[in-house]
Amino acid sequence: MIDDTLHDVNADHRHVTLRNVAQAAGVSLKTASNVINGTGRMTDATRQRVKSVIADLGYRVNVAARNLNRGLTGFITLAVPSLTPPYLAELANRVIDEARKHDYSVYVTTYAEGSAKGARDILQSFNPTVSDGIILSMSELEDISPEDFDVDYPLVVVGSRTTWGRADHVTPDDVEAAAKATEYLIKHGSSRLAVVGARKPFDKHALLNATEGNDQLRMKGVIEGCRRYHKQLDPALIGITAQNWTIGEGARATQRLVDGGVPFDGLIALNDQLAIGALSVLATSGIRVPGQVQVIGFDNIEESGYLQTPLTTMDSRLDWTAPTAVERIIGRIHGTITTPELLKVKSKIIVRQTTRP
């Protein structure tokens, strides 16, 4: 379809169509349309000539009209369980910024975790006349089956929950990241590690066979990191927080570890909020960080770099996750991506003052 949807943004507000651009560039209307849409075969010189004419005249594509011509809305839905956790709030901001680069807008919606109005309801009630596809951040609490991902609209899932190969899945490698964090503490002198953020009582066999879930995959990575250095996790040093990964729960879980009297010289918090709570308790307990206990978190939220003792943390790699998810959903929308893929990225350590040099 020829996209004749240019409008003038010059001061005199002349109404000029793509046909006028084609005439000024000395090409056919179809060729000018192909340049606008990034399609078609032509020489680089021809493509550049058309682009130069558009730039010189100050014209831009009327995105809304073009999407209407193509039967698209120009919107993407981002569904998250909540916007309270800093990680999810930053994910939303980054997805919005990335979508804007592709001339897309984003509807952000939240769903009730683990309820009848949870992620399954989002998937079943999606309205393609409102947006062109969904980027879904899957909650740990959702009861999801493989069949729930058999949808007839573009779908990309982000986070640690599996999609059974039925939808695009964009995620950092939580196991690798946790193993790397564990090894870092051990290499820098910690030999008895505590962990804060476990959802359930410690079950080594179950964790080593885990295939999804932030807490399970990160715990699996901790176990694997310990194994590589012939260390064992002591179940008495596992701070259980259930589903609550907040600063307050991190503090309470760490206080229980301190009160338990089992010594530890390294602490892995499964997110930065838990780590912030842990640091508070260690400080009030007179335990020096990193002299007596090294601490490392996950996600590299903004606050982690501005604490009284800046927090060493594993980067969440939102700089990769958001652009990748947006590129995949747009590829799905336009039909250039048709086969589901699992896309993983390795994390990196942001070294600050809660660990030793």
> Tell me: the pLDDT tens digits for 262-278?
999 999 999 999 999 99
Instruction: Give the pLDDT score at 249.
Output: 97
pLDDT above 70 covers what percent of the chain? 89
State the average pLDDT over residues 130-155: 91
Instruction: Give the pLDDT score at 174.
Output: 95
Instruction: Give the pLDDT score at 9.
Output: 40
Instruction: Give the pLDDT score at 116.
Output: 67
CA proximity to 282, closest of 318, 314, 308, 315: 308
Instruction: Give the pLDDT score at 7.
Output: 42
Range picked from 38-47, 54-63, 181-190 for highest mean pLDDT: 181-190
The C-alpha atoms of residue 228 and residue 187 are separated, in whole angstroms, by 11
Q: Burial code of 124-162, b = ≥16 C-beta within 10 A, e = fewer? A: eebeeeebbbbbbbbbbebebeeebbeeeebbbbbbbbb
Instruction: Give the pLDDT score at 64.
Output: 54
Q: Enumerate the β-bridge partners of residue 71.
A: none
Helices (H), the chain: 18-25, 29-37, 44-57, 63-70, 86-101, 119-124, 174-187, 204-208, 214-228, 247-260, 272-284, 318-334
CA proximity to 233, closest of 274, 286, 186, 280: 186
Instruction: Give the pLDDT score at 61.
Output: 63
What backbone phi and psi angles, to 5 degrees, belong to 344? -115, 155
Instruction: Give the pLDDT score at 305.
Output: 94
In this predicted structure, the answer to whether residue 12 has a pLDDT above a threshold of 80 is no
Distance of CA 218 to the CA centre of its chain: 16
Give the DSSP H/E element, type plus range, for residue 267. Answer: strand 266-269
Q: What is the pLDDT of residues 63-82, one digit of tens each?
A: 555 555 556 889 999 999 99
The C-alpha atoms of residue 332 and residue 306 are separated, in whole angstroms, by 39
State the average pLDDT over residues 252-266: 97
- Structure tokens, 36: 């606008």
190: burial class by Cβ within 10 Å (0-12, 13-18, 19+)? buried
- Residue carrying structure tokens 């002591």: 234
| Number of neighbours of residue 347 by Cβ within 10 angstroms | 23
In this predicted structure, the answer to whether residue 40 has a pLDDT above a threshold of 80 is no
The C-alpha atoms of residue 269 and residue 311 are separated, in whole angstroms, by 11
Instruction: Give the pLDDT score at 53.
Output: 85
| Number of neighbours of residue 219 by Cβ within 10 angstroms | 30
Q: What is the pLDDT of residues 97-127, one digit of tens each?
A: 999 999 899 999 999 876 667 889 999 989 8
In this predicted structure, the answer to whether residue 151 has a pLDDT above a threshold of 60 is yes
Instruction: Give the pLDDT score at 67.
Output: 57
Instruction: Give the pLDDT score at 320.
Output: 96
Q: What is the pLDDT of residues 162-206, one digit of tens each?
A: 999 999 999 999 999 999 999 999 999 999 999 999 999 999 999
Mean pLDDT score of the chain, rounded to an integer?
89
Confidence of residue 135 (pLDDT cuts 50, 70, 90): very high
In this predicted structure, the answer to whether residue 208 has a pLDDT above a threshold of 90 is yes
Residue 2 or 53, more confident:
53
| Number of neighbours of residue 11 by Cβ within 10 angstroms | 7
In this predicted structure, the answer to whether residue 5 has a pLDDT above a threshold of 50 is no
State the average pLDDT over residues 308-326: 96
Residue 248 or 55, more confident:
248
Instruction: Give the pLDDT score at 56.
Output: 78
Q: What is the pLDDT of residues 331-355, one digit of tens each?
A: 999 889 989 999 999 999 999 999 9
Instruction: Give the pLDDT score at 13.
Output: 39
The C-alpha atoms of residue 1 and residue 190 are separated, in whole angstroms, by 64
Instruction: Give the pLDDT score at 62.
Output: 61
| Number of neighbours of residue 198 by Cβ within 10 angstroms | 22
CA proximity to 226, closest of 190, 182, 268: 182
The C-alpha atoms of residue 172 and residue 159 are separated, in whole angstroms, by 8
DSSP 310: P
Give the DSSP H/E element, type plus range, for residue 343. Answer: strand 342-345
Angle between helices 174-187 and 214-228 (to 10 degrees): 40
CA angle 109, 111, 218 (to 5 degrees): 105
Instruction: Give the pLDDT score at 333.
Output: 93
In this predicted structure, the answer to whether residue 251 has a pLDDT above a threshold of 90 is yes
CB 266 within 8 A of CB 278: no
In this predicted structure, the answer to whether residue 129 has a pLDDT above a threshold of 90 is no
Instruction: Give the pLDDT score at 63.
Output: 56
